[in-house]
Chains A and B, each alone.
Chain A
Amino acid sequence: MDYRWDFSAVLVNRALLLEGLQNTLILGTTCLALGLFFGLFVGAARYSANRWLHDPASVFVEVFRNTPVLVQIMWFFFAFPIIAPFQINAFTAATLGLTLNTVAFSSEIYRAGLQSIARGQWEAGKALGMTYWQQMRRVILPQAIRRMLPAFMNRAVELFKMTSLASVIAYGELMHKAKVISTIAFNPIEMYTAVALIFFAILFPATVLVRRFETSRNVRS
């Protein structure tokens, strides 16, 4: 193996890569924020005893959990625009696919978190004359969210890895920029190694944090 590694093209194109990283972060945080927000409602619907809420939410969750996320992104990019009354660019398609996927997975975390709170907490809230949403907001969620945090953080790490799939529909995130540069500079080795290292540098500390958080919680409880 006498290949001579040459990272100069990576450094020369650092502005492009930085732009890609920025787009990765934009896509990731957008989908995370939207996914966690809407996930709460879907999770609450699945937790609910009313079957008009429960059943549609369950179908949605099962469909998005049991199909590959790349298929979801491709569907929103290639298929959905045909029936949608508006134009869909790569960012919108990726956001739709990744957000709905995150909604489905995070709703399960919300549901499990809600179920883990003892029944008595609801009853106590009710005894004080709180309405359903008051109980939820003031009593249940503050306790449940603390338990759900590690699961959410894991989800966020998965989501940021998944944003690289947007490169398949040519959204200019990190992976896509790397692909473009490597075809011009003929340096796939250095380019893809650099991308992997960048992701590792960002996500590894995050996973360490999650683990530390999990163990410190286990010790306390």
Chain B
Amino acid sequence: MGYEWDFAIVLRDFDLLWLGLVNTLKVTGLSLLFGVPLGLFLALLRLYGRWPIRLPAAFVIEFLRTTPPIAQLFWFFFALPILIGVEIDPFRASILTFSLQSSAFFAEVFRGGIQSIEVGQWEAAKAIGMNRNQTLRRIILPQAVKRMIPAFLERAIELMKTTTLVSTISYADLLYQANSIAQSTFRTIEVFTIAAAMYFVVIFACSVAIRRLEKHLARSGETIVH
């Protein structure tokens, strides 16, 4: 194979890739910021709402979980602006999509965590005169959240991987930057390999950190909910 590798050309544009990585982290971070509280809200609706609330909440969660993220993104970017008559830029469409998409998965993590807390905890709280909201806030959630941390972080990593889709609507994330550098330098294989390596470094570091944390939590006697 006579291909001559040349990483130098690509590394000259490394600041562009770096900017892409920063944008990837920005979309991931903001989506987490909105997605986690929204997930908790959806989980509570699904767990404790009466059926006119519970069923729509369950439908939203299941719909967002079983449709491809790319279809959701295209819907929010191409379809929603026509429907509401307001222009939505790629950045906003991405945040909107991934906040909603991840909230559905976080909702299920919350639900699993809350349901994993023994009934006795509820009964004990009731015995000392707490109502449901107090019990949730002071007794159940603090314990549940501790158990959910690894599952949360895993979802966050999945989210970061999914954000690569924003490149398809021209938001300048890492993959988009790699693609445009490839088109201007014709060093496709080098630039895609470097971009993949950059993703790997970030995501693998997070995975290793999660595994450590899981071991630590297991040692301190916390069960882990997936």
User: Range of interface residues on chain A?
Assistant: 35 or more
Does the CB pair B188–A79 fall under 8 Å?
Answer: yes
Partner of B179, one of A74, A80, A191, A193: A74
Chain B interface, DSSP helix/strand/loop, else mixed:
helix
Partner of A79, one of B82, B162, B193: B193
Q: Nearest chain-B residue to A75 (Cβ)?
A: B192
Partner of B189, one of A83, A196, A207: A83
Tell me whether B91 is interfacial, beta carbon within 8 Å.
no
Tell me whether B180 is interfacial, beta carbon within 8 Å.
no
How distant is the Cα of A138 from the Cα of B188 in the complex, in angstroms? 47
Q: Nearest chain-B residue to A62 (Cβ)?
A: B204
Does the CB pair B67–A71 fall under 8 Å?
Answer: no
Tell me whether A125 is interfacial, beta carbon within 8 Å.
no
How distant is the Cα of A204 from the Cα of B65 in the complex, in angstroms? 9
Q: Mark B51-87, 1 if CB is under 8 A from A, else 0.
A: 0000000000011011111111011001100111100
How distant is the Cα of A179 from the Cα of B68 in the complex, in angstroms? 14
How distant is the Cα of A65 from the Cα of B70 in the complex, in angstroms? 20
Does the CB pair B168–A168 fall under 8 Å?
Answer: yes
Does the CB pair A78–B192 fall under 8 Å?
Answer: yes
How distant is the Cα of A192 from the Cα of B169 in the complex, in angstroms? 15
Does the CB pair B83–A69 fall under 8 Å?
Answer: no
**Residues 26-70 of B contacting A (Cβ, < 8 Å):** 62-63, 65-70
Tell me whether A66 is interfacial, beta carbon within 8 Å.
yes
Partner of B62, one of A3, A68, A207: A207
**Residues 137-178 of B contacting A (Cβ, < 8 Å):** 160-162, 164-165, 167-168, 175
Which A residues are within 8 Å of any B CB, using their own CB? Answer: 1, 3, 62-63, 65-72, 74-75, 78-80, 82-83, 85, 157, 161-165, 167-168, 175, 178-179, 182, 188-189, 191-193, 195-196, 199-200, 203-204, 206-207
Which B residues are within 8 Å of any A CB, using their own CB? Answer: 1, 3, 62-63, 65-72, 74-75, 78-79, 82-85, 160-162, 164-165, 167-168, 175, 179, 182, 188-189, 192-193, 195-196, 199-200, 203-204, 207
Given A192-B79, A196-B67, 16 more contacts at CB 8 Å? A66-B200, A66-B207, A71-B164, A78-B179, A79-B189, A79-B192, A82-B188, A85-B1, A161-B66, A168-B168, A179-B74, A188-B74, A189-B82, A191-B79, A199-B68, A200-B62
